[in-house]
Amino acid sequence: MFCLVCRKIEIGAWIKTHLIAFKVPKRANLLYAIGGVLLFGVLLQILTGISIAIHYVPVVSKAFVSVNMFMRKFKYGWLVRSAHVNGASLMFCALYVHMFRSVYYRSYVGKRRRVWLVGSAIYVLMMCISFMGYVLPWGQLSYWAAVVITNFIDAIPLVGKWLRLFVLGGQAVRDSLLKRFFVFHCFLPFVLLFLVVLHVVLVHVSGQNDVISNRTFAIGSRVNMFPVYVLKDLVFVGFYLLILCALCLAFPSVFSNKLNYEPADFYSTPADIKPEWYFMHYYSVLRIFESKLAGVFVTGLTLLFVAALPYIHEDLSSDALKGLYRPSVVILFLSFALLGVLGALRLSYWLVVLARACVCVYLLFFLWPVFARLMRVIALNLVTWCC
Amino acid sequence: MLMPVLNIDNVELFYGFSCIIIAIGLGIISWPLASQFLPNAYASVDSKMEIDLRAICGGRCVTVNWFGTPVFVRNRLPREVRKARIVCIRLLKDRCARNANIDSKALAFDRNRCLDVRSENWLVVVAPCTHLGCMPNVTEHGWVCACHGSSYDLSGRVTSGPAATNLDVPKCVYAVNTLVLGA
């Protein structure tokens, strides 16, 4: 019966075209293996998440206790929760490397534009999911993060106040918010999984680009995925597990702040509240502007630019642009990392100046092709006008 | 049997109409589904609460839980009142009194923010910082927010930092030795 079903849906042929004989570029380097790691990471997060969700109680008075009970009183609860928490951090780490790789090697032009668009949707969704998950343990930082972020919604003109009520479901951050965050934190990962599958399917439709060229089917530049690339991916998954094990067993709270091991207190805000490291650059952007609206606007703009990247850097036809591109990507990611570091420090005058410079560099990366095109048009017009 | 005859123009019209009807149907379905995310009727009712002021001695500030909203009730010393009154209103970031008990256009003089003329030592303000909702810490000069350092003077008016508006004075009534919040 099983064989019959397999034969009917031609699973053998499917495996052959997509897992064995799928053509991958010869010149793909090690960074190309991160994609497989991320897929594995998502599946692991869902698995560990399900077992935590069974023990979790989304009620203000019990949430903190239920998480701690799971960690202390249930067999291997500490390991599962630790794998979930550290797995989230590790996945963001892999995600940023994956993004760097695709920006650096321009894996978003032409047919692969769709892959990038789905990928950026995955990025936004992943940030939403991880933020909701961060609120669930209901520690001091969880609670105040929820308060601060929902207050930022107020800054959106016209609909802000209404939208805030819509998210909170009450006048303050209490049960209603906790419950809906829990439900969406459980439900959205499956949407994410769907998007991930779509992402992989689109990659298989358009083929991967390699380190040098964007032509997909140049003769002699491609090899079968099996065995070398499958094994490479598996080795990287092994590394991922190794790092995760090291984190869970030796440094379980290296990514988390000790303040979050205190239950939420509605009447006292801890002195230094900070988000997780993977949101630190957004935190940095949000806090260097005096007005809330400016912070929200610039943050939204950076996300919008990430999604619009294939349209912005579509053609680098002139040599001057081509030579500039890769160094500018490195500078972009360095400024991104620096913003993250600055987010962790105490606010001061020079820090604000430096962070604003970083934001300028960040935005400039997306704006310079527009400027270049504009300058060219102006120059041409000037020439015709003068002649 | 009589069948309606559809020529090509009618078909396009038909598609257009069916699209409109589907859109209306989706709207009707999603309206209740989306509306249930809003706060329930119980949560938005203003609720009254009585506070015994005899327990708060001079110079103390007490945080009261007013149905989920923390409220500061501060019994200011005479010198603190004097300090709050000498502030020049032109130097304030937000010149609006933000007092729910009086006219919304009133200026942020201390007499417009304290409870009433007979009880100028009492200051009642909604506690969360108007910037991002953190709880400010009580200091001798007023309050300082723990998150981004917005500071408020002894009248709850913002003096520095990213906050843009003064702390709100909630609806309240002062009777001898008791305060009724939400009245």
Tell me the per-residue pLDDT of A136-154, one tens digit each, with 9 for 90 and over.
Answer: 999 999 999 999 999 999 8
Q: Which pLDDT belongs to residue A89?
A: 95
Cβ-defined contact of A268 to B135 (cutoff 8 Å): yes
Confidence of residue A305 (pLDDT cuts 50, 70, 90): very high
Tell me which H or E stretch contains B34.
helix B8-35
Q: Which pLDDT belongs to residue A185?
A: 97
In this structure, what is the dihedral angle of CA atoms A291, A297, A298, A299, given to the nearest 10 degrees? 110
Which ranges constitute the DSSP H helices of A207-318?
A: 228-250, 280-287, 292-312
Cβ-defined contact of B162 to A267 (cutoff 8 Å): no
The shortest CB-CB distance from A170 to any of B43, B63, B132 is to B43
pLDDT at B34 over 70: yes
Question: What are the two backbone dihedrals, phi and then psi, of residue A302, each rounded to the nearest 5 degrees?
Answer: -60, -40
DSSP B118: G
Q: Which pLDDT belongs to residue A317?
A: 64
What mean pLDDT comes out for the span B140-160? 90
Confidence of residue A100 (pLDDT cuts 50, 70, 90): very high
- Residues of B within 8 A of A168 (CB-CB) are 39
Considering the candidates B47, B148, B164, B177, report the single residue annotated as catalytic. Answer: B148
Q: Of B115, B133, B116, B139, which Cα lies nearest the Cα of B125?
A: B115
Residue A46 CA to chain centroid, in angstroms?
A: 16
What mean pLDDT comes out for the span A221-238? 87
Q: Which pLDDT belongs to residue A319?
A: 58
Q: Of B146, B134, B172, B155, which Cα lies nearest the Cα of B61?
A: B155
What mean pLDDT comes out for the span B75-101? 90
The shortest CB-CB distance from A269 to any of B69, B135, B164 is to B135
Confidence of residue B25 (pLDDT cuts 50, 70, 90): very high
Confidence of residue B44 (pLDDT cuts 50, 70, 90): low
What mean pLDDT comes out for the span A218-229? 77
Which residue(s) pair with B180 in the sheet?
B50, B173
Would you say A224 and A25 are in contact if contact means Cβ atoms under 8 Å apart? no
pLDDT at A214 over 70: no
Write the burial class of residue A274 (CB in 10 Å: 0-12 exposed, 13-18 middle, 19+ buried). middle
Question: Looking up tokens 């589904």, which residue turns up?
Answer: B33
Asked whether the bond before B170 is cis by omega within 30 degrees of 0, the reply is no
What mean pLDDT comes out for the span B160-168? 89
Q: Which pLDDT belongs to residue A213?
A: 63
Please state, in angstroms and rounded to a whole number, the distance separating the CA atoms of residues A58 and A53.
Answer: 9
The shortest CB-CB distance from A144 to any of B39, B134, B149 is to B134
pLDDT at A27 over 60: yes
What mean pLDDT comes out for the span B84-96? 89
pLDDT at A273 over 60: yes
Tell me which H or E stretch contains B105.
none
Q: What is the mean pLDDT of chain B?
A: 87
Please state, in angstroms and rounded to a whole number, the distance separating the CA atoms of residues A127 and A99.
Answer: 14
B7 in contact with A, Cβ within 8 Å:
no
Would you say B182 and B170 are in contact if contact means Cβ atoms under 8 Å apart? yes
pLDDT at A132 over 60: yes
One-letter amino acid at A261 equals Y
Q: Which of residues 9-48 of B touch A (CB under 8 A)?
A: 37-40, 43-44
Percent of chain A having pLDDT more than 90? 57
pLDDT at A115 over 90: yes
Whole-Å CA distances, A260 to A68, B3, B85, B116, B132? 12, 71, 41, 42, 19
pLDDT at B45 over 60: no
Please state, in angstroms and rounded to a whole number, the distance separating the CA atoms of residues B153 and B139.
Answer: 9
Q: Which pLDDT belongs to residue A207?
A: 82
Confidence of residue B6 (pLDDT cuts 50, 70, 90): low
pLDDT at A321 over 70: no
pLDDT tens for residues B111-131?
889 887 778 889 999 999 998
Confidence of residue A320 (pLDDT cuts 50, 70, 90): low
Confidence of residue A5 (pLDDT cuts 50, 70, 90): confident
> What is the longest distance spanned by two Cα atoms in chain A?
84
Confidence of residue A171 (pLDDT cuts 50, 70, 90): confident
Nearest-neighbour CA in chain A from B132: distance (Å): 5
Q: Which pLDDT belongs to residue B24?
A: 96
- Residues of B within 8 A of A266 (CB-CB) are 65, 70, 135
Confidence of residue A98 (pLDDT cuts 50, 70, 90): very high
- Residues of B within 8 A of A169 (CB-CB) are 37-40
B148 included as an active-site residue: yes
Question: Which tops the pLDDT comparison, B72 or A226?
Answer: B72
Question: Which tops the pLDDT comparison, A157 or A319?
Answer: A157
Q: Which pLDDT belongs to residue A123?
A: 96
pLDDT at A378 over 90: no
Question: Looking up tokens 């997780």, which residue turns up?
Answer: A276
Chain A interface, best mutation among B38, B132, B150, by max A CB count within 10 A: B132
Would you say B171 and B102 are in contact if contact means Cβ atoms under 8 Å apart? no
Nearest-neighbour CA in chain B from A280: distance (Å): 15
Q: What is the mean pLDDT of chain A?
A: 89
Nearest-neighbour CA in chain A from B14: distance (Å): 33
Q: Which pLDDT belongs to residue A247?
A: 95
Question: Which residues of A sit within 8 Å Cβ distance of B?
Answer: 144, 147-148, 150-152, 165-172, 174, 176, 180, 266-271, 273, 287, 290-292, 347
pTM, entire model: 0.89
Cβ-defined contact of B37 to A166 (cutoff 8 Å): yes
Nearest-neighbour CA in chain B from A381: distance (Å): 45
Chain A interface, best mutation among B129, B147, B148, B151, by max A CB count within 10 A: B147
Please state, in angstroms and rounded to a whole number, the distance separating the CA atoms of residues B51 and B72.
Answer: 12
Cβ-defined contact of B68 to A347 (cutoff 8 Å): no
- Residues of B within 8 A of A165 (CB-CB) are 38-39
Q: Which of residues 121-150 of B touch A (CB under 8 A)?
A: 127-128, 131-135, 145-149
pLDDT at A29 over 90: no
- Residues of A within 8 A of B132 (CB-CB) are 147-148, 151-152, 292
| Residue ranges of E strands in chain B | 49-52, 61-66, 69-75, 122-126, 136-139, 142-145, 151-152, 158-160, 172-175, 178-181
What mean pLDDT comes out for the span A34-56? 95
What mean pLDDT comes out for the span A100-122? 92
Q: Which pLDDT belongs to residue B177?
A: 84
pLDDT at A312 over 90: no
The shortest CB-CB distance from B70 to any of A150, A151, A267 is to A267
pLDDT at A216 over 70: no
Q: Which pLDDT belongs to residue B58?
A: 87
The shortest CB-CB distance from B133 to any of A151, A270, A290 is to A151
Which pair of structure tokens corresponds to residue A298? 């610039």
The shortest CB-CB distance from B135 to any of A169, A174, A267 is to A267
- Residues of B within 8 A of A152 (CB-CB) are 132
Please state, in angstroms and rounded to a whole number, the distance separating the CA atoms of residues B144 and B160.
Answer: 9
Q: Which pLDDT belongs to residue B42?
A: 65
